[in-house]
Structure 1
Amino acid sequence: MTVSYSAIRSSQGLYVRTCVVLIVCPAFDISDTHGFRYHIYADDSQLYRSTEVNDVSVVMKSLNESMIDVSSWMSANKLELNEEKTDTIIIDTESKLLNTEIRTVKLNNQELMISSKVRNPGAYIGSNLFI
């Protein structure tokens, strides 16, 4: 995995960014093996993956497996994944979203509802790409 460091003006911001990269990057390596890409924003992180409509259930199964592996790694390293602050969204057209049967994703044996909108740093994003 290649790690790039971005310069942040405040020394505290640079410190936080460096700590997050050093501590959490192995968890993203785990997600990468499941085919997910990621973004890190200070102490927030996002996993994402694009897919064909027919493969949504396969991606959700892969997401569940990835979250189990990441959560196990975090527990082994005395870290905790906060299920209460975890959101999942499927982005597609409204008609296709109505036809999907997927309503939840599992995280640590807890069912999380698929959200219709999620908060991205600076904006809310809806499941049919409204901002």
Structure 2
Amino acid sequence: MRQPSVRPNVVVLLTEVDSTRPDDPSLLYRRNGTSFTTAEHDMICTATPAEITAANAQRRLENEWARETHAMQKALVDLFMKYVDQLPDGSCSNIYATMTDEDYAEYERLVKIVAARTGLEYRAEHDNN
């Protein structure tokens, strides 16, 4: 049976490579700091040009996703701070009650997107720290 031109498992491994580590260049590490197994290293060494291209495209998509998520997080904080600055010093007022309907709708929209992208709801419900 003929092998597909792009092996998804190789593409995944390539997207995990940390290319910034100045350690031993003969070792490959993941972006999370762990090293690849010998079998994974050997598989990466067999990557085709098409697999490298696919991995680079995936990394670009991941980077764009991260930039978009960061921009939404910043917009959310900026919107919130717009109203925090209006509260009297030491106030514990309900900041959401002071928002315009339009700003509150935008806040709700951004909260849902940011939570979905970052898993904030899961962390808030399950972290014990």
TM-score, reference length from structure 1 = 0.27
* Structure with bigger gyration radius: 2
Which one has the bigger strand percentage? 1
